[in-house]
Amino acid sequence: MATGEVEYTERELPIPSIWRPTFQEIVRAFSEGDYLLARGVDGVRPVSRGLAEFFADNVEAYGATLTPLPDEAWQSSIYLRDEGFWEVLVDLFTVEEGRSDLVLLTRVFERGDAYEFEPWSIHVP
């Protein structure tokens, strides 16, 4: 199976390359403090004010500064199939420590020939 293809399996797999640019845009916005994704990211559901505050609070409580995703993020980030969507855990990186304990949990839905991303949580699993 090519890295860019999406599988319908319940086992953990590396993030497909087709999704990576979207995750890079999401995390870039978060690293700039835009937890609402106010400038918009194609294919990403709007983030509510309450959820954006939850993301920001969790990052602040962690005590580090998010950075855009480096290529090495794909070595450890995973996805798996759930009921009607994929759950994706993207390892987040910080200025202070590189790869951190924080992850971005996102649900990805198939919408015809496209995908819809729903950021769900930033937390330490």
Those residues whose C-beta lies under 8 Å from the C-beta of residue 34, and which sit 6 or more positions away, are none
Give a yes or no: residue 63 inside a domain: yes
Place of tokens 């990186």: 93
Q: Over the chain, what is the mean pLDDT?
A: 93
Tokens, residue 65:
């500064």
Mean of pLDDT values over 76-97 = 94
Q: What is the pLDDT of residue 83?
A: 85
Residue 118's SS3 state is strand
Number of domains in the chain: 1
Mean of pLDDT values over 59-81 = 96
**C-alpha–C-alpha distance, residues 54 and 17, integer Å:** 28
**C-alpha–C-alpha distance, residues 37 and 48, integer Å:** 9
Give a yes or no: residue 109 inside a domain: yes
Q: Look up the domain containing 54 and give its range.
A: 13-123
Mean of pLDDT values over 80-98 = 94
The length of the chain, given as a count of residues = 125
Give a yes or no: residue 6 inside a domain: no
Does pLDDT of 4 surpass 90?
no
| Helix or strand run (H / E) with residue 42 | none
Q: What is the pLDDT of residue 42?
A: 94
Give a yes or no: residue 62 inside a domain: yes
Give a yes or no: residue 20 inside a domain: yes
Q: What is the pLDDT of residue 31?
A: 97
| Helix or strand run (H / E) with residue 105 | strand 98-111
Give a yes or no: residue 44 inside a domain: yes
Tokens, residue 13:
């797999």
Give a yes or no: residue 65 inside a domain: yes
**C-alpha–C-alpha distance, residues 79 and 87, integer Å:** 5
Query: pLDDT tens, 102-117?
Result: 999 999 999 988 999 9
Give a yes or no: residue 3 inside a domain: no
Does pLDDT of 1 surpass 50?
no
